[in-house]
A and B are shown apart, each in its own frame.
Chain A
Amino acid sequence: MSIRGEHHLACSERIIQLMHKVLDGDATTDEEDKLMKHIETCERCRKHYEELQTSTSLLGQLPHPNPSLGFTDSVRMRLPSNRKPLVGGWFTRHPVIVAAAIFMILMSGYIFSTWNDNSFQATVDGKGHIAYRGNTVIVPKDEVINGDLIVQNGKVKIEGKVKGDVVLINSQSLQASAGHVTGDIEQINKLVSWVWYHIKHFFQIIF
């Protein structure tokens, strides 16, 4: 490479920066003059500048065609019909709260309906036999209940054994000592504890 060529490389970096400054419209009149003077004498820089000008002017000469004639109608057809009302927007923005609220409504409906049901009922959640005498549930002597005993609106008399919990809902126990029941004796006489029992039970089922 000749000395002349090296000189060009050295000048070109600065001059090329200047070219872009001029093309951006950021150059002062002095800077513009400096570029013009340089490219009068430097063949390679003049060519470079002309090529930049040509390519940008070619870009500027590309046509600006319109989209298809049916463009606006096509967009209109695809617009979502009626924007959502404010409440709808709120519901979709807070899905967890909405789900929790729906759950609470359904759950409480179920719990209240069972609370208002005043009929006598006794269930064994497990294995074992129970006897009845009127509204009294009897776990006979020598009988072992493997599970929970749930009594609603009645009385319970445990002569045998319950290997689990005894849940008394609006009910009372006539005879139950630690020796007869291995689990807890749970007494539910208030609505609040009734609700709590159901919620607890519900989550035990899920998890």
Chain B
Amino acid sequence: MEEDINRLIKKIKKGDHLAFAEVVDMYKNGVYNICLRMVGNRQEAEDLSQEAFIRAYTKIDKYDVERKFSTWLYRIATNLSIDYLRKKKPSVYLDADLPGTEDFTLKSQLADGEPLPEESIVNSETQALIQQEINQLPLKYRSAIVLKYIQDMNLKEISEILNIPVGTVKTRIHRGREALRKRLRHVNKG
């Protein structure tokens, strides 16, 4: 896999669009889900993911082949999402929190009829509720929590993606977990 990606990157550096399309197909789910859980909206996540890939393409010369490609790419996606949320006006936040909006997002999600992973047993209302609570987390905690529990990454990788020490990652995850505990304690599984 790592060898594959290095072979593709050599082609991309020469301007090979098809090679880059292969990379997009390999990582689009990961990039998209980071953005989706960070911003909590499908359309915005789609736009941000495209932006992340285009940025990766134009900055491919800056990618250090010695390091893991996914770490570099997820870092671009995470930073873009954080920048986007910081620039987003508070009024837009309010719109996103209006009752019904989440539900709408969710319905369009289900209408696409995409196969959901089998372990996904929480119903749609619960999913919307969880996302709503993620949206309430401060960005520092949110990014660490999303990488850990949505992308299932280890602390070392998260520290590289967020460019902070492992100890700080732990603190952020602990605080994020505590905040979610208070908010999600009344949610029934399933």
Is B187 located at the chain interface by the 8 A CB criterion? yes
Binds A, one of B2-10, B46-54, B96-104: B46-54
Binds A, one of B63-71, B78-86, B87-95, B170-178: B170-178
Among candidates B54, B155, B173, B178, residue contacting A75 with C-beta atoms closer than 8 Å? B54
Set of chain A residues within 8 Å of B15, measured between Cβ atoms: 82-83
Report the number of A-B residue pairs with Cβ-Cβ less than 8 Å: 118
Among candidates A62, A66, A78, residue contacting B54 with C-beta atoms closer than 8 Å? A78
Complexed CA–CA distance, A74 and B57 (Å): 14
Q: What is the chain B residue whose CB lies nearest that of A78?
A: B54
Does more than half of chain A's interface fall in helix, strand or loop, or is it mixed?
helix
Among candidates B29, B53, B117, B189, residue contacting A58 with C-beta atoms closer than 8 Å? B189
B residues 9-28 near A (Cβ < 8 Å) are 13-15, 17, 20-21, 24-25, 28
Q: How far is the CB of B3 from chain A (nearest CB, A)?
A: 22
List 28 A-B residue pairs with CB atoms under 8 Å apart, sorted by A's residue number: A20-B170, A48-B181, A52-B177, A55-B177, A55-B180, A55-B183, A56-B149, A58-B187, A58-B189, A60-B152, A61-B121, A62-B150, A63-B117, A65-B32, A65-B112, A67-B46, A71-B24, A71-B28, A72-B21, A75-B21, A75-B24, A76-B17, A76-B21, A78-B50, A79-B17, A80-B58, A82-B15, A83-B13
Binding site for A on B (CB under 8 A): 13-15, 17, 20-21, 24-25, 28-29, 32-33, 36-37, 42, 45-46, 49-50, 53-54, 57-58, 109, 112, 114, 116-117, 119-122, 126-127, 130-131, 134, 145, 149-150, 152, 155, 170, 173-174, 177-178, 180-185, 187, 189
Binding site for B on A (CB under 8 A): 20, 23-24, 48, 51-52, 54-68, 71-72, 74-76, 78-80, 82-83
